[in-house]
Amino acid sequence: MHEYRTEVVIAAQPAEVFAFLADLGSTPLWMPEITGLEVLGDGPVGAGTVFRETRMVRGKECSTDITVSEHRGPDQGDPPYRHAVAAKTAGVLCTYAYELQPAPTGTRIELLATAEPKSFFGKLVAKAMLGFMIKADGDQLERLRAAMEERNAD
């Protein structure tokens, strides 16, 4: 398995950061390459929710079905809060797992992005897939922080 970790501190309470992170409606505010999000099913976002994400990749729109694999927020107990999403593509299980904990100045949020081969072909492309994930989303926590700070400044 190949992985990438990054973290930031956001000047907001963990419950507020979790709500913003898990709200699909706010996603385009901090992930501008996403051109569409559609929940496939009913009910609130939680573990097991599947949604279709459409984003620009090398100048073309590409869609992927993504599953919320973990969703533990303020209504399930005390921090750390966790939210994770996963999608299998080209024989690789790509996961973005977020952990939120209180920090003296707000919330420390850590992102662990992994690319885990699930087939022979996946073994050949997993490292390159993680490279694509880092290139596309390596700065997403910085963008999340900027979007939250801009929203809170209003």
pTM of the full predicted structure? 0.93
Beta pairing class for 106-117 and 92-103: antiparallel
pLDDT of 145 reads 96
Residue 92 has pLDDT above 80, yes or no: yes
Distance from C-alpha of 144 to C-alpha of 23, rounded to nearest angstrom: 12
- pLDDT band, residue 56 (cuts 50/70/90): confident
Question: Has residue 154 got a pLDDT over 80?
Answer: no
Mean pLDDT for the stretch of residues 88-117? 96
Structure tokens at 59: 């100048």
Mean pLDDT over each residue of the chain, to the nearest integer: 93
Average pLDDT over residues 47-62: 91
Burial (0-12, 13-18, 19+ Cβ within 10 Å), 24: middle
Q: Kindly report the CA angle at 99 between 96 and 105, in degrees rounded to 5?
A: 130
pLDDT attached to residue 57? 84
- Counting residues of the chain whose pLDDT is more than 70, the rounded percentage is 99
